[in-house]
Chain A
């Protein structure tokens, strides 16, 4: 991991010093364990702030829309797919970007690891697929694979799909994963059970919109929940309004979501919001054989029409 950081710094310095980019967007060391902070560097002399480890989960594509600068951006597999989506959706141009690709072996779920350890974690280190955590009078070694965020555990595109320079050789992709186990379980429920399941999922939502704001797809100048003329959705924690927000947000991500997990990672009360977006991801895969953010040259399924598109689902 530290080799990645060294490589990122080297590339960033070169890009800034020779004027290829105006800024590099990456991560700096977090002030607490298990989360690093997205940051920008504009000065080649300050690239040492940039780091890399398995706590760089935040999707950096979220920081690109509407920027005017030439930008070097550090990108994992999912970030790269959201960058592709941004370019396809005209949120930024390919020419503005220098994509520093990072082959990714998954990000640690900071809440999962805290629950597993059950004690306050004061420091974390990782090597060879193991994560060592320590705190007041203890040290524990865990398998990183078991501490991954749920979306990382089933990720099928760990390597960036687009880049100008890679910091390392590609890592093996996970091919034997069932991406939709949780969605299938919900699909198998009858209507009442499914309703109750969703009710339970959303119980505790405080309408902070961290899920929406962490999502690279949510760049609308005015979100539908923020419209006031007319106002579409109530702003309290009324169950109907909260459901409306979550379901509509998910639908707005149909055919666009890369399952980067930003929404779930951000939620302060631990709602597994990916269950909504994943159903739509699964539908797009099954109906249109579509995976978001894989190519700059293909229009997304929901903004194109083909005569042979399947239509059983609207009969």
Chain B
């Protein structure tokens, strides 16, 4: 890893040089909020934002993607055969992504790329991706990243981590992919001497995080006891079972597979799914093992804060970005639920 300095006057020209080599994504103002979107040639990422409304997971994992196409026309020799659709896996880079969101991509990677399964579309897009993260100088009151396994300047995941120092950026270039990108942008000014200033900024940002969660006791809870805890009815009462939390979440990875046919032409696609929906678990028989909203709400929190913890042993399945906290239409707050789960003792009322 090395630290370089990028004068802000060199930022735009450097980004401009990247368009030839990468498809670029960055935060873009869309109405009242920012989202990550593909940048048109010459368009700059708008780095004057705190957090995007939707997470940038769609850069690697689009909400809807067609995987196969087929024909039902039996006069065709290849009828009823799923044929994989060609996709663009050329290099792509996301500029200005928050460190927590990069951490989330690494976290989701556990699901899509592991010794048991390798999801070809995820793996190829992930491999093609270079992440240029921007540390958060001013985190929100709803950010609880520092107690969710990451932080406003987490440098463990991004290929390049930028720190906004006012008139210039300092950049930690961590990986070969990162080296390749800064090389192509022409950013090379050595700033090893300023690494300390970047660390100071990181410490300042971390000290501004006022929202914290306790997760230390989750692993030791007995799953079935937590499952049967008395607080779920209270937690779930207000839930309307919409998909806001899951669709905005950077770590929700579940998808649904759908076939769509028009005439004799069909395609097989996958779409983000949401465990808040009854359809998520509805069996072909009509039986639904999660028949009500309390069961669904419990699943979401148990997955992130208990099953994930137990299965992977590397913390919780949440990076503390606070999107669900801010946007839940009925104010269900994962921080509160985490507290209830972490302090739960069977037999003791804790709602």
* Chain A residues near B (Cβ < 8 Å): 30-32, 35-40, 58, 62-63, 111, 115, 120, 122, 204, 206-210, 212-214, 226, 228, 234-238, 265-266, 268-270
CA distance A111 to B326 in the complex (A): 11
Which residue from chain B places its CB closest to the CB of A33 in the assembled complex?
Answer: B141
CA distance A235 to B234 in the complex (A): 31
| Residue in A37, A122, A208 whose CB lies within 8 Å of B242 | A208
Minimum CB–CB distance from B147 to chain A (whole Å) comes to 16
CA distance A63 to B31 in the complex (A): 32
Which residue from chain B places its CB closest to the CB of A111 in the assembled complex?
Answer: B32
CA distance A30 to B33 in the complex (A): 22
Q: Given A208-B247, A210-B243, verify A226-B277 contact (CB < 8 Å).
A: yes
**B335 touches A (CB below 8 Å):** yes
Q: Given A32-B331, A206-B247, A209-B243, verify A38-B238 contact (CB < 8 Å).
A: yes
Q: B274 to A208, Cβ gap below 8 A?
A: yes
The listed residue with most A CB atoms (<10 A of its CB), out of B140, B237, B238, B260, is: B238
Q: B30 to A30, Cβ gap below 8 A?
A: no
Mask: chain B, 237-275; 1 = CB below 8 Å from A; 0 = not: 110111110111000000010101000000001010010
**B310 touches A (CB below 8 Å):** no
| Residue in B33, B246, B329 whose CB lies within 8 Å of A270 | B33
CA distance A270 to B35 in the complex (A): 13
**B64 touches A (CB below 8 Å):** yes
Q: Which residues in A have their C-beta under 8 angstroms from that of B240? A: 62, 210, 213-214, 266
| Residue in A35, A40, A213, A236 whose CB lies within 8 Å of B64 | A236
Minimum CB–CB distance from B252 to chain A (whole Å) comes to 12
CA distance A210 to B53 in the complex (A): 15
CA distance A237 to B58 in the complex (A): 13
Which residue from chain B places its CB closest to the CB of A226 in the assembled complex?
Answer: B279
Which residue from chain B places its CB closest to the CB of A208 in the assembled complex?
Answer: B243
**B332 touches A (CB below 8 Å):** yes
Q: A31 to B32, Cβ gap below 8 A?
A: no
Minimum CB–CB distance from A257 to chain B (whole Å) comes to 17
| Residue in A40, A212, A234, A268 whose CB lies within 8 Å of B53 | A268
| Residue in A39, A62, A120 whose CB lies within 8 Å of B234 | A39
| Residue in A36, A208, A236 whose CB lies within 8 Å of B269 | A236
* Chain B residues near A (Cβ < 8 Å): 30-33, 50, 53-54, 63-64, 140-142, 234, 237-238, 240-244, 246-248, 256, 258, 260, 269, 271, 274, 277-279, 282, 325-327, 329-333, 335-336
Which residue from chain A places its CB closest to the CB of B256 in the assembled complex?
Answer: A235
Q: A234 to B31, Cβ gap below 8 A?
A: no
Which residue from chain A places its CB closest to the CB of B274 in the assembled complex?
Answer: A208
Which residue from chain B places its CB closest to the CB of A23 in the assembled complex?
Answer: B237
Q: Which residues in B have their C-beta under 8 angstroms from that of A214? A: 240, 242, 329-330
Q: Which residues in A have their C-beta under 8 angstroms from that of B332? A: 37
**13 more A-B residue pairs beyond the given contacts A31-B333, A120-B140, A208-B242, with a C-beta to C-beta distance below 8 A:** A31-B325, A31-B335, A35-B331, A36-B331, A37-B331, A120-B141, A210-B244, A213-B242, A214-B240, A214-B330, A226-B278, A234-B258, A236-B260
CA distance A62 to B326 in the complex (A): 21
Top 3 A-B residue pairs of the complex, sorted by shortest distance between their CB atoms: A266-B329, A210-B242, A208-B243
Q: B31 to A32, Cβ gap below 8 A?
A: no
CA distance A247 to B136 in the complex (A): 40
Q: Given A39-B238, A62-B240, verify A268-B331 contact (CB < 8 Å).
A: no
Q: A234 to B260, Cβ gap below 8 A?
A: yes
Q: Given A120-B140, A234-B260, verify A58-B244 contact (CB < 8 Å).
A: no
CA distance A265 to B331 in the complex (A): 12
Which residue from chain A places its CB closest to the CB of B284 in the assembled complex?
Answer: A228
Q: Given A208-B247, A236-B271, A268-B327, verify A213-B141 contact (CB < 8 Å).
A: no
Minimum CB–CB distance from A293 to chain B (whole Å) comes to 20
Which residue from chain A places its CB closest to the CB of B278 in the assembled complex?
Answer: A226
Minimum CB–CB distance from B308 to chain A (whole Å) comes to 22
Q: Which residues in A have their C-beta under 8 angstroms from that of B33? A: 269-270
Minimum CB–CB distance from B101 to chain A (whole Å) comes to 17
Q: Which residues in B have their C-beta under 8 angstroms from that of A226? A: 277-279
Q: B238 to A237, Cβ gap below 8 A?
A: no
Minimum CB–CB distance from B339 to chain A (whole Å) comes to 10
Q: B30 to A265, Cβ gap below 8 A?
A: no
Q: A40 to B237, Cβ gap below 8 A?
A: yes
Q: A115 to B30, Cβ gap below 8 A?
A: no
Q: Which residues in B have their C-beta under 8 angstroms from that of A115? A: 32
Minimum CB–CB distance from A21 to chain B (whole Å) comes to 16
Could you give 20 example pairs across A and B, Cβ below 8 Å? Answer: A31-B333, A31-B335, A31-B336, A35-B330, A63-B237, A111-B32, A120-B140, A210-B240, A214-B329, A214-B330, A235-B271, A236-B269, A237-B64, A268-B53, A268-B244, A268-B248, A268-B329, A269-B33, A269-B54, A270-B31
CA distance A32 to B278 in the complex (A): 28
Which residue from chain A places its CB closest to the CB of B58 in the assembled complex?
Answer: A206
Q: A58 to B31, Cβ gap below 8 A?
A: no
Q: A236 to B329, Cβ gap below 8 A?
A: no
Q: Given A111-B32, A208-B247, A214-B242, verify A58-B237 contact (CB < 8 Å).
A: no
